Amino acid sequence: MSGPRRETGATALQRALASESAANLGRLGRAVERALARLQEIPVASKSAREESEFACAEAVWLYFVQREACGLLRHDAVIEAYNIPATVLAKVGAKRPMSDENPRETTVRADTNLD
């Protein structure tokens, strides 16, 4: 009979990386939930604010998709359905926000950076 296996440095590192990837995936998923909740609070009639929120939401979704793919999860259909991500948001995933008249240098919207 053999005793318990000793963990090598490489195995410990792989386990730590997998753990961090899973934790980050959870943080990014919660950021998507918050962004979608904020989007729901904005009336459809408020086109400018709605579009701004859609771009912020799209960036949160994009970051989540990238992390999922880094974890080997390449299909997003179930996630799109589970989170009920609107088509207007999906159409903006990976896109840059058009320049506004107020700030012609502004080209992107940052997603919620509070990932806790």
Task: Give residue-wise pLDDT tens across range 87-111.
Answer: 999 999 999 888 866 655 554 445 5
What is the per-residue pLDDT for 104? 53
pTM for the model stands at 0.78
What is the per-residue pLDDT for 103? 52
Domain ranges of the chain: 9-90
Round to whole Å and give the CA distance between 73 and 38: 26
Which two three-digit tokens encode residue 19? 């753990």
Task: Give residue-wise pLDDT tens across range 17-63.
Answer: 989 999 999 999 999 999 999 999 999 899 999 999 999 999 999 99
When pLDDT is averaged across residues 79-85 and rounded to a whole number, the result is: 98
